Amino acid sequence: MAVHTTALRQTPAPPHDYHHLAHMKEQSKSQRTLWITLALTAFFTLVEIIGGLLSNSLALLSDSAHMISDVLALGLSMVAIYLAKRPPNARFTFGYLRFEIVASFLNGLALALIAVGIFIEGIHRLVVPETIDFSLMLVIASIGLIVNLVLTLVLSRSMKEERNLNVQSALWHFFGDLLSSVGVIVSALLIYATGYKFFDPVISMVIGGIIFTGGAKIIREAYLILMEAVPEKFDLEQMRADIGQVEGVEDVHEMHLWAISTDHYSLTAHVFINEHVQPFCIILAINETLKNKYGITHSTIQMEHAEIHAHGEYGKQFLLGKKHEEEMGG
């Protein structure tokens, strides 16, 4: 007897859906802007290094050192933007958005370290003045002023269209460069008018202080995101109160809110609910509240009953308070 066998067809497994929202960023405007900025910066950095060495100006050399950091910072920013396009996977379930913040932290740190280096060299040149070719210094600084003004305007326009901490840190770099160029020009003119060489290191140190301020601001913002602090634009207690106003919600606890990257927020919370209200309706109402009032579209809400998920003393105190309210109402 012939035995007929039929090959069993296996239904292919559906693709993994690590999140119902795409943890990705398409930032075509930021990417194009950074490419243009990187090309112009790399070219002028070379010009400024040569000019700084030939003129022996600390103000010009400090600006060129800052420009080198700009090239590195822009390179990091480009890597961050390309990584942000990659979708989440089984290992990086939030995608690669957080690298934007890591890159920004490194950029801010570079700004701060460069500022410290400028300050140290400025003190040294105050003690031991050096000869400066002010005419070459003035020419290079004037070209730098034009280049940095154009780049600052380009990045400012990009920030209005797509908010990105990397572009913001790059903008701080070029704002510092713009001030550096102005400072170098003022320094050259003062040296020419008075003959006092100390204007070069003094103005360099002032520029260094401004650069350090910008770097510290970027470091702080990146640090808060990396530490998963509640973003400053949100009031967590007010959000807790708003969720508590949803019908069926009796208590909100274990609530966490953090930023994955700029303008990309996640929220988790546990809520004790009234067992007589449909849980799916409660979740829907909470999500609508978060979306409409706060713009948060990625939230995880855990429904609980205090007698089952007591959370230790917290649940006991909640039940005692609820019982007391019922007795007072009765």
- Check residue 191 and give its pLDDT: 80
Could you say which of 198, 226, 254 is where a domain stops? 226
The pLDDT of residue 301: 94
Please give the pLDDT value at position 4. Answer: 43
Q: Which two tokens stand for residue 299?
A: 């939230």
Total domain count for the chain? 2
Do 59 and 178 lie in one domain? The reply is yes
Residue 16 lies in a domain: no
| pLDDT for the residue numbered 14 | 45
pTM listed for this prediction: 0.72
Question: Which domain does 254 fall in, by range?
Answer: 236-329
Rounded Cα distance between 306 and 104, Å, is 43
**pLDDT tens track for 191-221:** 888 878 788 888 888 888 888 888 898 899 9
Q: Is residue 20 part of a domain?
A: no
Q: Mean pLDDT, the chain, as a whole number? A: 79
According to the model, what pLDDT value does residue 245 have? 95
- Based on the fold, state whether residues 48 and 87 are members of the same structural domain: yes
Same domain, 133 and 263: no
Does 41 share its domain with 186? yes
What integer pLDDT is reported at residue 227 of this predicted model? 93
- Same domain assignment for residues 218 and 159: yes
The reply to whether 247 and 216 lie within a common domain is no
Same domain, 221 and 249: no
Pair 139, 242 in one domain = no
Considering the domain architecture, whether residues 211 and 240 belong to the same structural domain is answered as: no
Cβ atoms of 214 and 111 closer than 8 Å: yes
Quote the pLDDT of residue 9.
Answer: 45
> Considering 206, 226, 246, which residue would you say is the last residue of a domain?
226
Interaxial angle between packed helices 58-84 and 165-194, expressed in degrees from 0 to 180 and rounded to the nearest 10:
170
Q: Is residue 15 part of a domain?
A: no
Question: Can you name the residues that pair with 300 across neighbouring β-strands?
Answer: 268
Is residue 70, in this structure, part of any structural domain at all? yes
Instruction: Classify residue 6: in a domain, yes or no.
Output: no
Write down the pLDDT at residue 213: 86
Residue 253 is assigned to a structural domain of this protein: yes
As a whole number of angstroms, the distance between CA 262 and CA 226 comes to 11
Task: Verify that 180 and 120 share a domain, yes or no.
Answer: yes
Same domain (yes/no): 197, 268: no
Q: Verify that 117 and 260 share a domain, yes or no.
A: no
- The CATH number of residue 63's host domain is 1.20.1510.10
Residues contacting 126, CB < 8 A, separation 6+? 198, 201, 202
Reading the chain (330 residues) residue by residue, the pLDDT tens digits are 444 444 444 444 444 555 444 554 555 556 677 777 778 778 877 877 887 777 777 767 766 766 777 777 778 777 877 777 788 888 888 788 888 888 888 888 888 888 888 888 788 888 887 777 777 777 877 887 888 788 777 777 766 655 566 666 667 767 777 777 788 788 878 888 887 878 888 888 888 888 888 889 889 999 999 999 999 999 999 999 999 999 999 999 999 999 988 778 999 999 999 988 999 999 999 999 999 999 999 999 999 888 887 677 887 888 888 877 777 765
- Closest C-alpha among 114, 217, 116 to residue 172: 217
For the chain, give the longest Cα–Cα distance.
114
**Which residue among 226, 254, 285 closes a domain?**
226
- DSSP-assigned beta bridge partners for residue 270: 253, 302
| In a domain? residue 220 | yes
CATH number at residue 295: 3.30.360.10
**Assigned domain for 14 exists:** no
